[in-house]
Amino acid sequence: MPRYEGIINRYRAFLPISKDDAVITLYEGDTPLHESHNLRNAINPELNIFLKFEGLNPTGSFKDRGMTMAVTQAYNAGSRKIICASTGNTSASAAAYAANSGMEAYVLIPDGKIALGKMSQGMRYGAKVIQIRGNFDDALELVREISADGSISLVNSVNPYRIQGQKTASFEIVDELGFAPDFHALPVGNAGNITAYWMGYKEYQEKRISKTLPKMLGFQAAGSAPIVLGHPVNNPETIATAIRIGKPASWKQAEAARDESGGRIDAVTDEEILEAYNMLACLEGVFCEPASAASVAGIIKLNKAGYFKPGQSIVCTLTGNGLKDPDTAMKGVASPVTIDATESAVRKALES
Ligand code: F0G
In the chain the domains, ranked by start, together with CATH numbers, are 6-60+162-330 (3.40.50.1100), 63-159 (3.40.50.1100)
Over residues 166-176, the mean pLDDT reads 99
Q: Could you read off the pLDDT of 233-272 as tens digits, one per residue?
A: 999 999 999 999 999 999 999 999 999 999 999 999 999 9
Cβ pair 164, 15 in contact under 8 A: yes
Determine the atom of ligand 1 nearest the C-alpha atom of 93: 20
Calculate how far, in angstroms, residue 59's C-alpha sits from the geometric centre of ligand 1.
Answer: 13
> pLDDT, tens digit, for every residue of 191-246?
999 999 999 999 999 999 999 999 999 999 999 999 999 999 999 999 999 999 99
Q: How many residues appear in the chain?
A: 352
Q: What is the DSSP string of 206-245?
A: HTTSSS--PEEEEEEEGGG-HHHHTS--SS---S-GGG--
Q: Which residues does a 6 A CB cutoff place in the pocket of ligand 1?
A: 61, 63, 86-90, 157, 187-193, 242-243, 289, 291-292, 319-320
How far, in Å, from the CA of 85 to the mean position of ligand 1?
11
Ligand 1 centroid to 111 CA: how many Å? 17
For a pocket test of ligand 1, which of 319, 324, 325, 328 has the largest count of ligand atoms closer than 8 A to its C-beta?
319
Expressed in angstroms and rounded, the spacing between residue 319 Cα and the centre of ligand 1 is: 8
Confidence at residue 116, expressed as pLDDT on a 0 to 100 scale: 95
What spacing in Å lies between the alpha carbon of 284 and ligand 1's midpoint? 23
Among 127, 32, 41, which residue's Cα sits nearest to residue 84?
Answer: 127
* pLDDT, position 267: 98
User: What mean pLDDT is predicted for residues 267-295?
Assistant: 98
Tell me the CA–centroid distance for residue 352 and ligand 1, in Å.
Answer: 42
Pocket test for ligand 1, best of 109, 243, 325 (most atoms within 8 A of CB): 243
Closest ligand 1 atom, CA of 254? Answer: 14
| Helix, strand, coil in percent for the chain, rounding step 5 | 45, 15, 35
Cite the annotated binding site by residue number: 89, 189-193, 319
pLDDT at position 17 is 97
Does residue 40 register a pLDDT over 90? yes
Nearest-atom index, ligand 1, CA of 156 = 19
Question: How confident is the model at residue 1, as a pLDDT?
Answer: 87
Separation in Å, CA 291 to CA 46, 59, 186, 218: 26, 16, 9, 12
Q: Is residue 352 pLDDT above 90, yes or no? A: no
Helix residue ranges, H only, 49-166:
63-76, 89-101, 116-124, 136-147, 160-166
**Residue nearest atom 19 in ligand 1 by C-alpha distance:** 86
Q: Is the pLDDT of residue 93 over 90?
A: yes
Read off the pLDDT of residues 294-342 as tens digits, 9 standing for 90 and up: 999 999 999 999 999 999 999 999 999 999 999 999 998 998 999 999 9
At 66-90, the pLDDT tens digits run 999 999 999 999 999 999 999 999 9
In DSSP terms, which residues pair with 216 in a beta bridge?
184
DSSP state of 132: E
Mean pLDDT, residues 8-24: 97
Instruction: Say if strands 104-110 and 81-85 run parallel, antiparallel, or are unpaired.
Output: parallel
CA-derived radius of gyration, the chain:
20
Atom of ligand 1 nearest to the CA of 196: 13
Atom of ligand 1 nearest to the CA of 193: 13
- Name the binding residues for pyridoxal 5'-phosphate: 89, 189-193, 319
How confident is the model at residue 247, as a pLDDT? 98
Ligand 1 centroid to Cα of residue 168, in Å, is 16
Are 87 and 243 in contact by the 8 Å Cβ rule? The answer is yes
Model pTM? Answer: 0.97
